[in-house]
Amino acid sequence: MRSTTAILQKIFTAQFYIQNTGFFLVLFYLMFGVVDSSSLLSYHQSLMMGFLEGHSFLLLVLLLWTLYLLKCTGFVMKTLQTRGYEFLYTTMGSMHKKQRLREWAFIHTAIYLPVLIYSGIAIVVGVKHHYYSTASIILIFNIAMCCWPLALYERKLHNPDTLFFTGHLQRWINRHIVKPPVLYFLYELFTQFPRRILSAKLISAALVWITFFLMQQGDYFDLRGLQLGVMVSVLLHLQLLTHHRVFDDTWLNFMENLPISTFRHYLRMTGIYVIIFLPEMIMITVNAYTKTDALSLLMVFCMALSLLMFFRTLLYFPKINNEIHVRYVLVTCFVVLFMILGHREWIAILILQLLSAIIFFKKYRQYEPYIESQG
């Protein structure tokens, strides 16, 4: 069964971390990149002491861990119902129940491992400082988070039509709401990948909050610092851009043949990314409207939108895979960063918008999904 375990880990664990690379890069930035290396240990110790001492903070931390758990559980459920993985039902179903539960435990623990490691360290810190009750709560919480999903996986295995809660939400929306084209992709995200977009938006909001928090701690406001935070927030959305490409390839290729002008398709794409980045825009406005003028805020929003649109239009070159796309994205961010530091933001916005429009109007009607050869 060692080979079976290795195959299952490759299907579930390896794919989970590959698909969420952007999420973990941003998480690493939040946990280790926002503080000086010399004060890293004291920073995390203070963070742990914060939720060990404060019940409100602990509740927030447990909520964030629960959201990550839902992300993990949802990924396993989605994989089980993904076309091409039907063999998992017969493979797992042929195992003895104890062996199967052990395999589920290996899979779930492997993808939930970041929380287990951090919470384990927090428990040690709590015991060391005599916060026994809080440490016990964290321990019991994580034991429960490692156990109840196994029952859900078992239920899914024996009842393949079992849906996560989003399936029922999707059916209700389909019956009651007629969606305009600009909402097609957003509807797909919220119904098929709710944990992914929710985690992306939560981490993005956390990045914006940390940006303002650091400036407040230093008792200053720097528009260039805000734009840097927004740029990192945009990078967090790269996974959603890839989903947009896959969604268009799979479901919306028929729209190219409809009597709709390319300009309207371009406006639809613009509207999608305005809506996607709207929560961050509201958050930035609330925190910065007394510190800068409306034109500067508009510049920040236009920069974020221009980056999103340019990164999306790059994917209309069919041979650009994720690895090549990331290279172009990083080079673009490097150039734009220097333009921001040189106070040439509007020029950067104009160039990005111009390039986005040229690529879109040239490639949209010609685009065909590219399938890499396996040989």
First to last CA, the chain: 30
Burial class (CB in 10 A: 0-12, 13-18, 19+), 19: middle
Q: Report the pLDDT value the prediction gives residue 35, as an integer from 0 to 100.
A: 67
* Best CA proximity match to 365, nearest among 275, 240, 262: 262
Rg (CA), the chain: 23
Q: Is 283 left (phi over 0), alpha (psi -120 to 50) or beta?
A: alpha
SS3 371: coil
* Best CA proximity match to 346, nearest among 223, 238, 232: 223
Other Cβ atoms less than 10 A from the Cβ of 206: the count is 17
CA distance 86 to 331: 40
Instruction: Write the CB contacts of 333 (distance below 8 Å, at least 6 apart in sequence).
Output: 231, 235, 307
CA distance 57 to 59: 5
Q: For each of the chain's 375 residues, which pLDDT tens digit applies?
A: 457 788 888 888 888 888 777 677 767 776 776 666 677 788 788 888 888 888 888 888 898 899 888 888 888 888 887 777 778 887 777 888 888 888 889 999 999 999 999 999 999 999 998 888 999 999 999 999 999 888 888 888 877 665 555 555 566 666 777 778 888 888 888 777 776 787 788 888 888 888 888 888 777 888 888 998 899 899 989 888 888 888 888 777 777 777 888 999 999 999 999 999 999 999 999 888 888 889 999 999 999 999 999 999 999 987 788 788 888 998 999 999 999 988 899 999 999 999 999 999 998 888 877 555 443
| Cβ atoms of residues 278 and 233 within 8 Å | no
Q: Report the pLDDT value the prediction gives residue 267, as an integer from 0 to 100.
A: 94
Domain range list for the chain: 2-162, 181-363
CA within 13 Å, CB half, 129: 16
Cα diameter, the chain:
70
| Cβ atoms of residues 221 and 291 within 8 Å | yes
Q: Report the pLDDT value the prediction gives residue 374, as an integer from 0 to 100.
A: 42
CA distance 98 to 150: 12
SS3 31: helix
Q: Report the pLDDT value the prediction gives residue 1, as an integer from 0 to 100.
A: 47
Q: Report the pLDDT value the prediction gives residue 173, as an integer from 0 to 100.
A: 65
pTM above 0.95, yes or no: no
